[in-house]
Amino acid sequence: MKQETIDRIRKFTQDRDWEQFHSPGNLAKSISIEAAELLECFQWSDTEYDLEHVKEELADVIVYCQDLLDKLGLDADEIVTAKMAKNEAKYPVEKARGSAAKYDTL
């Protein structure tokens, strides 16, 4: 995410004095709630959905994720890079390509 966007998220929260409500648990709950709202966009069809609504719900998830990163002092690039290294080890291309199987059944 661009630094300008991250700064805008931070300013939005700071201007409203909402940091006081942003415990890690509250933010994790909010991510889950917004993810459920995103999932609701696809509840009855995987092909017929309102893209604008999907974008709004996905943005809500991303904003709360950035808030949680800030609260925990984490860097998105660092944690994603570390997780991708683990995923690449668990799902080697030669075993996982074209398969939806979980790593322990490959």
Report pLDDT digits (tens) over 59-70: 999 999 999 999
- For the record, the structure tokens of 106 come out as 């490959």
In this prediction, residue 58 carries a pLDDT of 98
- Quick one: 42 and 87 in the same domain? no
Residue 95 scores a pLDDT above 90: no
Q: Which domain holds residue 81?
A: 75-106
**Do 22 and 67 form a contact (C-beta atoms < 8 A)?**
yes
Phi, psi (rounded to 5 degrees) for 102: -70, 155
- Quick one: 7 and 54 in the same domain? yes
- Quick one: 44 and 70 in the same domain? yes
- Quick one: 15 and 39 in the same domain? yes
Residue 105 scores a pLDDT above 90: no
Residue-wise pLDDT for 1-59, tens only, equals 999 999 999 999 999 999 999 999 999 999 999 999 999 999 999 999 999 999 999 99
Element (H, E) at 52: helix 51-72
- Quick one: 4 and 22 in the same domain? yes
Cut 0.95: pTM above it = no
Q: Which CATH number does the domain housing residue 33 bear?
A: 1.10.287.1080
